[in-house]
Amino acid sequence: MKDSDHFDLKISYKRKERSKDSNGSDRIFMLVGKMLFYNERFWGFKSEKRKAKKKSLMLSNKERSAIFSFMSKNQFDVDYQKTIKIDKNYLRNDFTYIIELNMLENSTVYQIQTNDRNSDNKSWINAKKLFDLLQNLIKNQ
């Protein structure tokens, strides 16, 4: 993957709870060209009390290069579809990262799901780092 390549990136972080008053949230980053969009929404029990958030940011070439470098270094540009599930049945929450990368020639989807927010699985850690990288860009605008 080169910095000049055209691609669209969507990374979602979903949290859902399994209980009688279940609820959850979706945090979604979309990178289209040089624009980074962020949406956060809540659903379920008492979700009406939490306000959805939307932000957007025009990325600099340096910020865009940092994203490309991180993705290449961590092999997010490999052409395959993969689901990684890490289970610990005693927890009632599911946490899922979904990374969708669309390039002109191919499309890649990673879905990494766990019941452990602090998983030591390498794929989970890399997905979290990519999400955190995008989150820091939005926060620092």
The confidence score (pLDDT) of residue 1 equals 46
- Per-residue pLDDT band for 134 (boundaries 50, 70, 90) equals very high
Reported as a single tens digit per residue, the pLDDT across 78-127 is 655 677 787 766 567 888 888 888 776 677 787 888 888 888 888 888 88
What is the pTM for the complete model shown? 0.80
Read off the pLDDT of each residue in 124-137 and give the average, rounded to a whole number.
91
Distance, CA of 84 to CA of 37 (rounded, Å): 26
Sequence-ordered list of residues with C-beta below 8 angstroms from that of 9, at least 6 positions apart, any chain: 29, 30, 31, 67, 71, 99, 100, 101, 102
Can you state the angle between helices 61-73 and 122-139, rounded to 10 degrees?
A: 170
CA dihedral 47→115→111→26, nearest 10 degrees, is 10
Reported as a single tens digit per residue, the pLDDT across 30-86 is 998 889 999 988 887 777 778 888 999 999 989 988 888 888 888 776 655 677 787
Reported as a single tens digit per residue, the pLDDT across 18-33 is 776 778 888 999 998 8
Token pair 């959850």 is at which residue? 24
Mean pLDDT of the chain: 81
Higher pLDDT, 50 or 10: 10
Fold (CATH) for 7-139: Mago nashi protein (3.30.1560)
The confidence score (pLDDT) of residue 28 equals 93
Q: Token digits for 133?
A: 């990288």
